[in-house]
Amino acid sequence: QGCAGIEHPEGLAMPMVTRFLKELRREGLISGFGWTWFPEYILALRFAWLSEWLRKNDTQMLETELAFMNILIRHMAELRDIWSFKEEPL
């Protein structure tokens, strides 16, 4: 359970994640425009968790969340490639 990648960033590229994203694309659950900005959406979603840790004054999770968000920011282009956010057939 938990967030894929928060404890081990390489989890963002694990087969479970890439298969899940391929299935989402295949089913058409997210628009083409949505896929264009998907990595940024994942980063934006982390702010909800950041808020949770701030409310709970959970400094350990706050530090973990900030580190994870920095990983997402620094590796956005790599994640886009790994997650195959290109206009290509499935």
Which residue intervals of the chain are DSSP H helices?
15-27, 32-36, 38-56, 59-74, 76-82
pLDDT digits (tens, 9 = 90+) for 22-76: 999 999 999 988 888 999 999 999 999 999 999 999 999 999 999 999 999 999 9
Model-level pTM?
A: 0.83
Res. 89 pLDDT band, cuts 50 70 90: very low
Side chain identity at residue 39, one-letter code? P
Q: Residue 3: what pLDDT?
A: 81
pLDDT of 84 strictly over 90 = no
Q: What is the mean pLDDT of residues 5-23?
A: 91
Pairwise CA distance, residues 88 & 64, whole Å: 34
Q: What angle do CA 19, 22, 27 make, to 5 degrees?
A: 125
